[in-house]
Amino acid sequence: MQANEGTVDRIVRLVLGAVLLWAGLWPLGGLGGAVWGIVAAVVGLILLFTAATGFCLIYRILGISTRK
């Protein structure tokens, strides 16, 4: 896995992932109900993972790189 995310991209993913995870888990079922809460939490976790690793599979498939 070669990193394909730039610094700004990773920071945005980190912040957005944390917000979505918090919103999805608030309070037991998310702000919009259980299903949307789970979806938001899962998307948040994916964003946090990609921010931590610097690698995005979708970017790889599409041939995109924001890394300089």
Domain count, the chain: 1
Task: Note whether residue 43 is domain-resident.
Answer: yes
63 pLDDT exceeds 90?
yes
Task: Note whether residue 65 is domain-resident.
Answer: no
pLDDT at 25: 85
Please give the model's pTM, rounded to 2 decimal places. Answer: 0.87
Contact 47, 10 (CB under 8 A): no
Task: Note whether residue 2 is domain-resident.
Answer: no
Domain containing residue 52: 7-58
Q: Compute the mean pLDDT over every residue in the chain, rounded to the nearest whole number.
A: 91
Contact 12, 5 (CB under 8 A): no
